[in-house]
């Protein structure tokens, strides 16, 4: 009997957590038309802000306000720089460009996001995965894992020409196959990354 009660209340507790997570997704989606899977990270940032404010000597009510304002600033910054809003008569659509640290740079200093780079691979065949590297001088190298027989020379030439036009590159982008592309230290695969000059083709 005790075991049955323990399992019952454990199940109710876990179910309540799942329900809260689902409600969070629904609330955010209905309010913004964006499925935000980072709501847990946003809540953690707010918690850290409140802890820092309390440790700094603020009363709890003031720390709560600081956390709210801080999260509003973080949300506005991400909406401004990482998401592109497309207003449409039947509902808004958003394009997420990726992390600023993964952005590349044009020859004139303008930023190129991971999403913009990925558009250059539309209708490209023969590449299972890719990584575009750029060093501090602007030299780029494209590494890719072939899919089957790999891309044809024409497909590869179309992709590299699109990338060169996007980046306004004065030098040709070298492209070459790799048996495997290793993830970053964080465990994530990066489609675009800035590297040192001696590692751009490594």
Residue 86, in any domain of the structure: no
Domain that holds residue 57: 2-26+36-81
Q: How sure is the predictor about 125, in pLDDT bands with cuts at 50, 70 and 90?
A: confident
Q: Are residues 168 and 130 in the same domain?
A: yes
What's the mean per-residue pLDDT of the chain?
Answer: 78
Q: Are residues 76 and 133 in the same domain?
A: no
Residue 41 half-sphere exposure toward CB, CA atoms < 13 A: 6
Considering its fold, how many domains does the chain have in total? 2
pLDDT one-digit tens code per residue, 72-120: 888 888 777 666 665 555 555 555 555 556 677 787 777 887 788 888 8
Q: Are residues 67 and 18 in the same domain?
A: yes
Q: Are residues 117 and 76 in the same domain?
A: no
Q: Is the dihedral of CA 148, 152, 153, 156 positive or negative?
A: negative
Q: Are residues 44 and 127 in the same domain?
A: no
Beta bridge partners of 146: 127
pLDDT one-digit tens code per residue, 34-55: 667 777 778 888 889 999 999 9
Question: For residue 152, what pLDDT is reported?
Answer: 86
* Reported pTM: 0.52
Residue 129, in any domain of the structure: yes
């Amino acid at each position: 009997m005790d075991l049955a009660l323990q399992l019952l209340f454990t199940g109710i507790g876990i179910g309540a957590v799942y329900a809260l997570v689902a409600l969070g997704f629904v609330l955010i989606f209905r309010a913004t038309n964006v499925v935000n899977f980072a709501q847990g990270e946003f809540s953690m940032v707010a918690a850290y802000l409140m802890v820092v404010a309390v440790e700094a000597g603020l009363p709890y009510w003031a720390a709560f306000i600081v956390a709210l304002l801080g999260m509003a600033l973080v949300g506005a910054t991400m909406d401004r720089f990482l998401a592109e809003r497309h207003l449409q008569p039947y509902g808004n659509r958003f394009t997420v460009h990726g992390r600023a640290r993964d952005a590349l740079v044009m020859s004139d200093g303008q930023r190129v996001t991971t999403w913009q780079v990925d558009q250059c691979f539309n209708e490209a065949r023969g590449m299972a995965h890719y990584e575009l590297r750029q060093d501090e001088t602007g030299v780029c190298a494209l590494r890719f894992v072939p899919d089957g027989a790999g891309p044809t020379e024409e497909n590869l030439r179309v992709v590299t020409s699109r990338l060169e036009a996007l980046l306004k590159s004065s030098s040709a982008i070298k492209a070459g196959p790799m048996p495997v592309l290793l993830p970053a230290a964080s465990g994530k695969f990066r489609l675009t990354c800035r590297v040192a000059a001696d590692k751009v083709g490594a």
